[in-house]
Amino acid sequence: MSVERSVFSDNSELAMFLRKNYGMEDCFVLKIDEGSANCYKIENKGGSFFLKDFQKKFDRCSIEREIEVCKLVRDIGVPTSEFIAGLDNKYVFEYNGHCFHLQKFIEGYMFAGNDFNDEVLYESAELLGKINLGLANIDFLPEGFPDKWFEDWTIEKSLKKHKDILESIKASKRTTEEKEKIIEACQEKINLLKAYGEDHLKYKNLKTVNSHGDYNRLQLLCDIAKNKINAVIDFSGAASVRAVWEIIRSYSYGAKECINGSNIDLIKFKEYIEKYLKYGKLDLFDISNMAGFYYYNLLRSTYGLNSENRNLNDLAIWRTGLCKYLSESYNDIDLYLFNEFRGSVG
């Protein structure tokens, strides 16, 4: 579900935009209700296309960066978007305060949360490794977890953020049922924060890689008949991130056993990491702190808790369940991974 209202009042206004900037006539427009942006499938005699209306937080520079990133990962064999230039040979257009780009439409099925079969799950790990390899030598991506992100954090600051959200939810006009779920999640996070005792600054030493930035099932278009991934899409958030964060996060969003936010299959997760390592690189410190860092990341995050978007509320509640599970298991997971990969990585 999109988080911002479309800047087009109707399809005729959108058709005018396409005619003016791309010379496209007689277009059939279909709104796509997946993801956080307003997106459209466009069909005319020239073929099928995908138009993306970016949220206001994205500027022209970041969108042009995505186009360059997609070219680099295509060069290493990752199937991804091919962008269409407009009449003036530009790839990005602005309209009513939003930026847009057009790309060839890619057919594919988008799996629901935690519904990957094993073939797609493991292929997604290999593609993530390829992405990190293909982007290894660039220096123009923003930092996803700069040192300041670690250094400025305190338990007290996170407690205040969660308590403020808790009070906001209590005073809101949501239904009693909606309030109860989010209040329960906030209170769970507050209890976990009070008990947190790790030295989070050690996670600054985790390996940083250039990557997708939001690698999960929403960014993978699949052929379910062949159990294959047709394309990795939406590199608009490409950034330099801690490698282990995107590995374990993508696994937890796709693997069936994580559907209730309360289980990681250690054998399957080990294989997921091994598939990633066919192209990506990690050392033993990375691998043996993977679950601990993910727990820390989830613990401090308030993403979705105070949103008006009910889908984001549900995601926040699921993430809280995973956070609770990791609070009790991250040490065991990291010890298991340490023992399994000791001797095979540096």
This prediction's pTM: 0.91
Please answer whether residues 78 and 234 qualify as being in contact, where contact means their C-beta atoms are separated by less than 8 angstroms. no
Alpha helices in the chain (DSSP H): 11-22, 60-75, 118-134, 147-151, 155-171, 176-195, 243-254, 266-276, 284-287, 290-300, 310-341
Alpha carbon distance 105, 48 (integer Å): 5
pLDDT in tens, 25-60: 999 999 988 767 899 999 999 999 999 999 888 889
pLDDT in tens, 132-191: 999 999 999 999 999 999 999 999 999 999 999 999 999 998 889 889 999 999 999 999
- Reply yes or no on whether the pLDDT at 129 is more than 70: yes
Q: How far is CA 53 from CA 23, 50, 56, 189, 278, in A?
A: 18, 10, 9, 34, 35
87 and 133 both lie in a single domain: no
Q: What are the tokens at 273? A: 């990491």
305 and 281 both lie in a single domain: yes
Q: What is the pLDDT of residue 107?
A: 94
258 and 174 both lie in a single domain: yes
pLDDT in tens, 200-236: 999 999 999 999 999 999 999 999 999 999 999 999 9
| Structural domains counted in the chain | 2
Please answer whether residues 111 and 217 qualify as being in contact, where contact means their C-beta atoms are separated by less than 8 angstroms. yes
Q: Domain ends where: 104, 136, 160?
A: 104
- Reply yes or no on whether the pLDDT at 1 is more than 80: no
Alpha carbon distance 210, 76 (integer Å): 14
333 and 263 both lie in a single domain: yes
Per-residue confidence at 3, pLDDT binned at 50, 70, 90? Answer: low
Q: Is residue 3 part of a domain?
A: no
CA angle 45, 51, 57 (to 5 degrees): 170
Q: Domain ends where: 44, 78, 104?
A: 104
99 and 164 both lie in a single domain: no
Q: What are the tokens at 269? A: 């997760």
Handedness of CA 225, 229, 231, 235 (dihedral sign): positive
β-partners of residue 211 are 239
For residue 135, the domain's CATH number is 3.90.1200.10
Q: What are the tokens at 60? A: 């022209």
Domain carrying residue 65: 11-104
Instruction: Using only the alpha carbons of the chain, give its radius of gyration.
Output: 21
168 and 217 both lie in a single domain: yes
What φ, ψ does residue 51 adopt, rounded to 5°? Answer: -105, 130
The one-letter amino acid code at 9 reads S
Q: What is the pLDDT of residue 309?
A: 87
